Structure formats: C-alpha cells, structure tokens
Amino acid sequence: DLQQAQNDIKETIELHREALQYNQKLIFYIHDKAPLSDSVYNSFVSSSTDYQIIPKTSAFENLKNIGLNTLTNDSLRISLTNLFQLDLKRLDDELGMAATDFSFSQTLFPYQNRYINADLDLPMTYTFQHADSITVYRLGIINYDQFLADNDLLRNLQLTLYGRSLVVDEEVNTLIKVEKAIDDIDEELKSLGAVK
C-alpha cells in the first residue's frame, strides 16, 4: 500500500505542477495582454484540472486488526499510525477543502463557460477503437478583449494558483513521510532477519 501511495503521490504532484505552470502562464498572458493563441487557450483549459489522491489503506487496517503492537519498533508504529490516520487522510481531503465549496475546476468553470465557444466553421472528427466516429467543433476563446480585462477571472486564477501551490507542498511533505516509512519498514524487516 505504501509503495502504491508513493507512486500515486508522485504522479499527482507532477500533474499538479503541470497545472501550476499552465495557471502561471495564463496569469502572465493576461497581464501582458498577449495575443490570442493556442497557448493561451490551452493554459486556460488546463488551469482548472484537478487531481486527487485516494490512498489505499487496507494493509494498515489489517495491521490494526492483528494489533499494531506486533511491531517491535515504537517509532515505526507511531509514524505509520500518523501517516495513515493523519497525513494520508489529509491528502484525501486536500487540506480540508472537501468541507468547503472550493475546487479548482468549479472556481474556473464559470469563466470557461463564459469565454469558451465552439467555432462552427471548424469541424473536427475523432475516431475511436470501440465506438463510432464523432464530429465536434473546435473550441476557442471568444470576447478576448473582455477576457483580458476580466479582473474576477484574474483574481480566481491567482486563488487557484495559490491553493494548488499549497496542495503541492502538502503532497511533497506527505511523500517524504511515505518514503521514510518505507525505509523504516525495510530497516525493521532487516533487523528481524526477514529481508537481506
């Protein structure tokens, strides 16, 4: 479970960092009044992506059922308990944001709904392996001058940037704790002669 959590956290950190870059670029594009381009559009769409880690806890639950005191190393027992009952739960809740109405996607959706429109002159066809082909119209930003002057959009982009930065910090701190727990488990197993 810990190694899966480690991999999931690393992947989610990278996805959040990529979204942070798009978010930051878009703020600069708006500030600099950059001309409309695919980069502006892609940054606008990608700024609202959201990712969540849902940690697997079955191994820890099994350990609790047989008794945490089967671990002879007190500090390992405490660090695993804190990791699973505090740190990983906090990641699942993304810093307590689940109790609020805040989400990256929902914060920027009204602006995407306002400024993204289908261009009926640019049909695009997609084919799928297990479904019929579909035709959709290319999306793009409309009312670009208004988009650049929309202070509410800029404010919400900055809130999203700040919030996502906090999430990445929390994810990295938790990743460090997960990696330490993995190392501590390996050391405990070596000391018991279970692993060479």
pLDDT in tens, 92-142: 565 555 555 567 888 899 999 999 999 898 899 999 989 899 999 999 999
Closest CA to 52 of 103, 121, 18, 107: 103
Helix (H, G, I), strand (E, B) or coil at 142: coil
What is this structure's pTM?
0.78
Q: How far apart are CA 144 and CA 22, in angstroms?
A: 18
Q: Binning pLDDT at 50, 70 and 90, where does residue 32 land? A: very high
pLDDT for residue 155 is more than 80: yes
Amino acid 9 reads I
CA dihedral 138, 143, 149, 150 (to 10 degrees): -70
Average pLDDT, the chain: 84
Contact 124, 136 (CB under 8 A): yes
Tokens of 27: 């703020």
pLDDT at residue 195 in the model = 55
Residue 135's DSSP bridge partners are: 125
